Amino acid sequence: DQQVKQNSPSLRVQEGRISILNCDYTNSMFDYFLWYKKYPAEGPTFLISISSIKDKNEDGRFTVFLNKSAKHLSLHIVPSQPGDSAVYFCAAEGTGNQFYFGTGTSLTVIP
């Protein structure tokens, strides 16, 4: 049973606009969340993370929002650039540094 879900398999956004990627989780024990970015034929690379003691974390163009009551997090990319086109995975950390990944959202930024 998938504990971390990304319900949108794909997203297309115009360059310069905001990209919003969503993620839902079911386990209320999760309290650390991460976003990874993956290009074809490469391994995932860490993008940004957030602890449950926060509701927002920002790093340049990337901001992650966490709504614990809704068990929902989102990644905002502003402004979106063609180089952001990739598959984005959200992950939740369980006990012992075990990660539970979502199914991924493929973002295409159109020039």
Partner 1 sequence: DAEITQSPRHKITETGRQVTLACHQTWNHNNMFWYRQDLGHGLRLIHYSYGVQDTNKGEVSDGYSVSRSNTEDLPLTLESAASSQTSVYFCASSVHRGLTDTQYFGPGTRLTVL
Report the distance separating Cα 101 and Cα 103, nearest Å. Answer: 7
The distance of closest approach from Cβ of residue 9 to partner 1 in the complex, given in angstroms and rounded to an integer, is: 9
Shorter beta-carbon distance to partner 1: residue 87 or 109 = 87
By CB under 8 A, name the binding residues for partner 1: 2, 4, 6, 31-32, 34, 36, 41-46, 49, 51, 89, 91, 93, 96-104
* 89 half-sphere exposure, CB direction, 13 A CA radius: 16
10-14 and 105-110 beta bridge pairing = parallel
Shorter beta-carbon distance to partner 1: residue 12 or 54 = 54
The distance of closest approach from Cβ of residue 61 to partner 1 in the complex, given in angstroms and rounded to an integer, is: 19
The distance of closest approach from Cβ of residue 109 to partner 1 in the complex, given in angstroms and rounded to an integer, is: 21
Report the distance separating Cα 42 and Cα 91, nearest Å. Answer: 18
- Cα→Cα distances 110→6, 15, 50, 90, 107, Å: 22, 5, 28, 22, 10
The distance of closest approach from Cβ of residue 14 to partner 1 in the complex, given in angstroms and rounded to an integer, is: 27
Shorter beta-carbon distance to partner 1: residue 17 or 54 = 54
